[in-house]
Structure 1
Amino acid sequence: MSNTFKLENNFDVSFTALLATREKQIQQNYRPIIGVHKWFARRPGTVFRNLLLAEFNGEEPIEVEYWKAHSFQGVIADPFMGGGTPIYEANRLGFSVIGTDINPMAFWIVRQSLADFDEKMFRDALSSVVSDVEGEIQDFYTTRCTECSREAPVKYFIWVKRQECPSCGEPNDLFPGHLLAEDVRHPHNVLVCDCCGALNGFERTPTKDNPGICRECRSEISVEGNAKRNKVSCRRCSTQFAYPPKNANVPPQHRMWAIEYYCDCGSETRKGRFFKSPDQDDLNRYQRSAELLACRSSDLPIPRDDIPHGDETKRLHRWGYGKFREMFNDRQLLSLGILLQRITHVKHVATRHALLTVFSDFIRYQNMLCRYDTYALKCQDIFSVHGFPVGLVQCENNVIGIPKVGSGAFVHFAEKFIRAKLYCKNPFETRVENGKKRLVPIVGETIAASFTEDTPSPTGREARIAAMPATEIRLPPQSLDGVFTDPPYFDNVQYAELMDFCYAWLRQALGDELECFWPSTTRAHAELTGNETMGRGLAHFTEGLSKVFCHYASALKPNAPFVFTYHHNDPLAYLPLIVAMLDAGLNCTAALPAPAEMAASLHIARSNSSVLDTVFVCRAVESVVASSLRGCLAKDVEGLQNAGLSLTAGDLRCLIAGHVARLAVNELVQSWNKQESLQEKTRLATNAISRLSAHNPAADLIAEILSQATSTT
């Protein structure tokens, strides 16, 4: 390969894979900047740092230069910035950056990540806000300790969904199981009695075949619940009925059945957590919060927006959730409304914006779709998977929170935000030496930019961050030193439908300030994700991707790289990419492997999905030496295995699909006619994929490689 192709020659697969795999295990420790705000499917920052260094570094090996500070000049663009990883890594290396995203939440997150931060001013405002809000709501998050009878702060309230029997009208709890806490981080298993509601501790896990006995009412207790496969039998008349009810038009009812609280009584000798069944005083406190909400609701900045129909939100509608506010209980609405209102009164703009960002992020732990983790004994994020899973047992978190106790509350997220912004001021890398982690400060690098509304200067570390379709931003010819991006993977994540949850609240404070927060939703027809509800299919995705690639490729300097990540097991899923590359006049000069996901992620575990991305490196060149699929795959596997990765069939299938797409581009580039119809271009790409796949049977290659790996071990 030509020496002018620096990235293709210099990229170190093993070194990158080693760093990226470690980062994805605890990404918030390796790249604390992700703590500014949630975004979905973030790629490892270590991957993009390595890619940028491979292209723009001098002659020293990346493994040496990676740990040094750099100050490059030029302009790097990301047309699908999302959570901003390529933007941050390029900015940190000294580049000016251009980032666009059609979703205003992406715009806000990246702006806040690059914005100036005054820690003292933030902490002072935070302290004032917390003090004021606690004065109004603290009583609603207090309970009486069952051991010392003193008042104690609540960590979590645990609720269960209820549904009336259609035959007799009896309210039925929908318990999928009766377990509250496992005997891992607590001395014993804690289960609720389905008859009297008492919490019971057991050394073993009682089952229907071997039940336990309730200490209060002497009823049998088992871990199994009464709700299974969307069916439940009425406790009074035994009628079996389905949940949720058909054509539900109101959100489900809930009953509070457990509380976890914090008390320091017996702290020197007592082991385990404090759990209790709610008493009448606890129920009265909730009722008072509901009554206060009824009086103040119209004056508080609480969203009234409908939840639009969508591929992900249809699950919410099936359960009767029609408005965003219905995803919260009355105490949450009251407390969140008071907190948001108080934040809007902070006069210093940058500090107010920072606190609003914390608020927008932390509400994913402050709603009635959060669940309680019976193993870790903590609240689970509504977005623990990339969707809106509606569970039967909910966890209501303390809104303000207890400092250094629990998780998911406002004070916890504020500290996470501070850590993220301090990392921006003093970035570091994490090095493992002799089995021990060591932080390596990269003195001289920062993540910060001066914002501009024009094309940024290549020497000023400026940032043009815009909430708009990527094709609408002005890009002068030969103004870009490179494009580095992580585009949407067709319909893998419905970004707008999910981020509407945060946006509905944030626009209460920013709707009068920023034009991109005027609409009632972040959804737009031009969004480049497949979406059945909005009629966006593969043709829409392909045409849109092609327009973006063409727009940005036309602004590249001669021989500058266009780099993007992608993964999918099906070679035909790469059709839009092949068409987009060829329409943009780009040839694929390399397809490189890089870890992208964590194997334990809920949407990856126990599936055939891959944890690897293919990194496509493209340049405006007519021809390249098309390396064989088998040879490139063997090199990929060797590099990844040297980093300690154990490759699965799903990983190999994904890498093979990436190389097939690369070879298809190499084959079609010289005869490609951009003016042909989309149907004809898709046909040509499909034929190329089919022919190359037939010559390189994935099943045979996978079997061969896995067999070699087995014989080696």
Structure 2
Amino acid sequence: MKHSIESDFPFEKIDQIAEIESYRKEINRPIYHIHKWWAKRLGSVFRSIVSGALSEGAWKDFYEKQTFFEKVVLDPFMGSGTTLGEAAKLGAKVIGCDVNPVSTFSVTQSLSNVEPSKLEDEFRSIEKDVKHEIQSYYKTIVPGCSAATPALYYFWVKVVETPDGEEIPLFSSYIFSKNAYPSKKPDAQILCPSCGAVFVGKYNSNESLCTECEHHFDPQNGPAKGSKVFDRQGNEHKIKDLVSRKDHPPYHKLYAIMALNEKGEKVYIKPSQYDLELLDQAERKLNNIRHKLPLPTMEVRPGYNTNQARGYNYKTWSDFFNNRQLLSLGLLLDRILKIENQTIRDHFVCLFSGSLEFNNLFCSFKGEGTGAVRHMFSNHILKPERTPLENTVWGVEGKSSGTFSALFKSRLLKAKKYLDEPFEIFIDERAIKKSSKKVVCSDPIRMDVVDSWEAFSTSPKGALILNGDSSSLNIPDASVDAIVTDPPYFDFVHYSELSDFFYAWLSNALGKEYKYLSREDSSHENEVQDRDSDSFTQKICKIFRECNRVLKTDGLMCFSYHHSTVDGWMAIFNSVTEAGFDIVAAHPVKAEMSVASPKSAAKNPINIDAILVCKKEVSAPEIKDAKREIQLRCRNYFSRFDVVGRKLSSGDRFVIACSQALVVASCARLNKQSAKDLVLWAANTCLSDMDSDIRLSEVG
């Protein structure tokens, strides 16, 4: 009998649930969001994939409680652990492996059970020991207040120097804070370029008069324009050239502070001598105790995603923080490492590491009416921020976002509570107005997290978490019932270059205790991340061959994939078929949120993934007309999306066409060149059928 996912995938229902989940993934699937990972896939989608890969016959209802006891699900590219968490909720045992040590460490904490009350007790102890000292460096004097009050955010700007010695702040605009919905709330904060005063004006104003020095200027027009900057005489300079004249990152100038007044109201103020002296005080303290603190010393290695930062002279990972941040973070981590209970300690180290992305000089301000802090990886690259935002590390209760104390409550505690009561999003379609609520349809997640097959095989609720090359798994032949994963995509983001940011701290903190955190950096010679098609195919094929070895004869390997080029699709086709699998089905499904930064910037964004369903070699069905078969399959999916009102971009249609062509090519046993010709035909035919003149080369 066939597994459910071989015949179909009910994306019409799953898409609705996934759409709601995607807007607040950290709330709807908190166990995968204690720590940063890239391209996290939607839990509701992977719950369905796991269910379909283990079930036989008709599809089970999404909300049906399922108990696949003694079934084993493997994810050889576990990343954030989405597959493992969803399979555990369905009662299965799980095995996850990742070559990246940051993934291994964070997934271990995600699936480990700790009583929330014990975490709260330890948090209060940490708070008692270091909160006051950290917060003492984040105070300011608000005009009219009788004493120092808490600061919330510090606004900085990078400054470059011309050959003539003129210092130029890299402002593209002097409007530095506005509401997320400016047409409804047009008031904005404006900086005077003459005297540095901060005053209120309109977000779209082209004329401003400083309330202090009466300087008249256009607030929309700063000296930085794209890659260039202009001096007072109007001379043009390339910013990169000015930066490269120095051997250190650009100087940062503090120009504004968001603080609380004595009434607890948020106000914007100009920095005073008090604020500068506080920075000096933090620097002196850091210099005195730096040798005692677990601060990062690792260098930023050359790479596709790191060279932009290196071009700004960010040579070590400690350069990503100012002295006050290093002092505060060092004091906090030093206290965490004194926790005696290893499991609780590791949870707090994970929380600390996760908070780093909101507390560094690559963060920026999102604006009023939002979460305030735009974390450093919002664009999946290490982009030096010209006007960085400094957060306050510990934070102010109820007022801060992205701080250690705020993330403890919103991320760590919620993740542990989710293990106790894992919920799904239920859409009530019978209501007059469609609504959603949370429902529990799984038992509590109680996994025995282990790191060896011997311990795993004797545990009824085993979660085997491995670090290393998935092309050589230390598990027996035919020991896995299903493989569900989300592999790296050909020529996409090199995650280890980005994860080094966290690894630089984690290795210093726990490298002596965990071998996988004692490497030189978070990279691995066999990590599957290549811009070269042949190299990518070769590496991922080795892992798929290992999957073939450990998978039971009737088991399935299912994975999500999309790509904007035919070469990307052929790379995955060749790796799967050379590993001894047939692609027996491909189903479209919602990918990550379509408004995410990398997607919203694309001309023709891809908002869906293809779920490729693979099986050990099977009797291929006879296909008389491959091209007609592809057309029929594509039209079926296009019409199904049309029925539910889902508009497909040209990129989405490209994904559907290429994925269906792979299934037909695999079933027809076509060679590489014939398969590529068929995929090219499918892609071009699909796009030429559209009512637009979008060309294949524009899809992205």
Tell which deviates more after alignment, 413-422 or 573-582.
573-582
**Counterpart check, 1:594 vs 2:589:** yes
- Distance in 2, matches of 1:361 and 1:187, equals 34
Match of 1:424 in 2: 419
Note if contact 1:154-1:261 (Cα within 8 Å) is conserved in structure 2: yes
Unaligned runs of 5+ in 1: 268-272, 532-536, 670-683, 708-713
- Aligned AA for 1:594? V
- Distance in 2, matches of 1:6 and 1:233, equals 63
Distance 1:232 1:704, change over 3 A: closer
Distance 1:414 1:258, change over 3 A: same
Note if contact 2:178-2:367 (Cα within 8 Å) is conserved in structure 1: yes
Note if contact 1:193-1:219 (Cα within 8 Å) is conserved in structure 2: yes
- Distance in 1, matches of 2:679 and 2:362, equals 46
- Distance in 1, matches of 2:556 and 2:22, equals 26
1:153-202 CA-to-partner distances (Å, cap 9, x unmatched) read 111000000011212x1222111111122254867211100111001111
Note if contact 1:249-1:321 (Cα within 8 Å) is conserved in structure 2: no
**Counterpart check, 1:469 vs 2:464:** no
Note if contact 2:8-2:587 (Cα within 8 Å) is conserved in structure 1: no
Residue 693 of structure 1, aligned match among 652, 676, 680: 680
Residue 615 of structure 2, aligned match among 612, 619, 627: 619
Match of 2:77 in 1: 80
**Counterpart check, 1:143 vs 2:136:** no
Tell which deviates more after alignment, 69-78 or 190-199.
69-78
SS in 1 for 2:140: strand
SS in 2 for 1:81: coil
- Aligned AA for 2:511? G
Superposed CA RMSD: 2.2
Note if contact 1:21-1:598 (Cα within 8 Å) is conserved in structure 2: yes
**Counterpart check, 1:258 vs 2:256:** yes
Residue 360 of structure 2, aligned match among 348, 355, 367: 367
Tell which deviates more after alignment, 541-550 or 140-149.
140-149
Q: TM-score if structure 2 supplies the norm length?
A: 0.92
Distance 1:71 1:588, change over 3 A: closer
Note if contact 1:581-1:665 (Cα within 8 Å) is conserved in structure 2: no
Distance 1:694 1:557, change over 3 A: same
Q: CA deviation at 1:61?
A: 4.3
- Distance in 1, matches of 2:313 and 2:134, equals 29
1:647-689 CA-to-partner distances (Å, cap 9, x unmatched) read 11111012111122222222227xxxxxxxxxxxxxx424322
Matches for 1:567-582 after TM superposition, within 5 Å: 567-582=562-577
Q: CA deviation at 1:699?
A: 4.6
Residue 559 of structure 2, aligned match among 560, 564, 581: 564
Q: CA deviation at 1:287?
A: 1.1
Note if contact 2:364-2:385 (Cα within 8 Å) is conserved in structure 1: yes
Distance 1:264 1:431, change over 3 A: farther
Q: CA deviation at 1:70?
A: 2.8
Q: CA deviation at 1:644?
A: 3.7
Residue 338 of structure 2, aligned match among 331, 337, 345: 345
Matches for 1:437-452 after TM superposition, within 5 Å: 437-446=436-445, 448-452=447-451
1:217-259 CA-to-partner distances (Å, cap 9, x unmatched) read 1112322211012222223x54432213236421110000010
Q: CA deviation at 1:379?
A: 1.3
- Distance in 2, matches of 1:458 and 1:436, equals 44
- Aligned AA for 1:663? V
Note if contact 2:650-2:687 (Cα within 8 Å) is conserved in structure 1: no
Tell which deviates more after alignment, 633-642 or 46-55.
633-642
- Aligned AA for 1:648? S
**Counterpart check, 1:652 vs 2:650:** no
Match of 1:195 in 2: 194
Distance 1:66 1:139, change over 3 A: same
Match of 1:214 in 2: 210
Match of 2:126 in 1: 129
Distance 1:86 1:652, change over 3 A: same
Distance 1:555 1:407, change over 3 A: same
Matches for 1:297-336 after TM superposition, within 5 Å: 297-336=290-329
Distance 1:157 1:587, change over 3 A: same
- Distance in 2, matches of 1:302 and 1:702, equals 57
Match of 1:665 in 2: 666
Note if contact 2:360-2:390 (Cα within 8 Å) is conserved in structure 1: yes
- Distance in 2, matches of 1:452 and 1:101, equals 13
- Distance in 2, matches of 1:205 and 1:574, equals 45
Distance 1:554 1:704, change over 3 A: farther
Match of 1:677 in 2: none
**Counterpart check, 1:154 vs 2:151:** yes
1:494-529 CA-to-partner distances (Å, cap 9, x unmatched) read 110011001101112111100111113101221100
Q: CA deviation at 1:587?
A: 0.8
- Aligned AA for 2:138? Y
Distance 1:15 1:510, change over 3 A: same
Tell which deviates more after alignment, 85-94 or 182-191.
182-191
Number of equivalent positions: 675
Residue 398 of structure 1, aligned match among 392, 414, 418: 392
1:461-514 CA-to-partner distances (Å, cap 9, x unmatched) read 212111100012123222110111100002222110011001101112111100
SS in 2 for 1:559: strand
Note if contact 2:178-2:188 (Cα within 8 Å) is conserved in structure 1: yes
Distance 1:505 1:424, change over 3 A: same
Distance 1:509 1:606, change over 3 A: closer
Q: Post-superposition, which runs of at least 4 consecutive aligned residues in structure 1 deviate over 4 A?
A: 58-61, 183-187, 699-702, 704-707
**Counterpart check, 1:436 vs 2:423:** no
- Distance in 2, matches of 1:577 and 1:327, equals 36
1:523-562 CA-to-partner distances (Å, cap 9, x unmatched) read 122110015xxxxx22221111111111111221122101
- Distance in 1, matches of 2:610 and 2:343, equals 38
SS in 1 for 2:77: coil
Note if contact 2:453-2:475 (Cα within 8 Å) is conserved in structure 1: no
Unaligned runs of 5+ in 2: 695-700
Distance 1:692 1:328, change over 3 A: closer
SS in 2 for 1:561: strand
Match of 1:641 in 2: 642
SS in 2 for 1:619: strand
SS in 2 for 1:285: helix
Note if contact 1:67-1:442 (Cα within 8 Å) is conserved in structure 2: yes
- Aligned AA for 1:259? I
- Distance in 1, matches of 2:637 and 2:39, equals 23
- Distance in 1, matches of 2:632 and 2:491, equals 32
Q: TM-score if structure 1 supplies the norm length?
A: 0.91
Residue 551 of structure 1, aligned match among 510, 529, 546: 546
Match of 2:697 in 1: none
SS in 2 for 1:481: strand
**Counterpart check, 1:171 vs 2:170:** no
**Counterpart check, 1:25 vs 2:27:** no
SS in 2 for 1:36: coil
Tell which deviates more after alignment, 101-110 or 637-646.
637-646
- Distance in 2, matches of 1:505 and 1:266, equals 34
- Aligned AA for 1:18? Q
Distance 1:341 1:702, change over 3 A: farther
Q: CA deviation at 1:333?
A: 0.6
SS in 1 for 2:553: coil
Note if contact 2:172-2:221 (Cα within 8 Å) is conserved in structure 1: yes
Match of 1:479 in 2: 479
Match of 1:96 in 2: 93
- Distance in 1, matches of 2:264 and 2:551, equals 67
Tell which deviates more after alignment, 574-583 or 617-626.
617-626
Distance 1:440 1:643, change over 3 A: farther
Distance 1:47 1:705, change over 3 A: farther
Distance 1:705 1:280, change over 3 A: closer
Match of 1:282 in 2: 275
Q: CA deviation at 1:452?
A: 4.5
SS in 1 for 2:152: strand
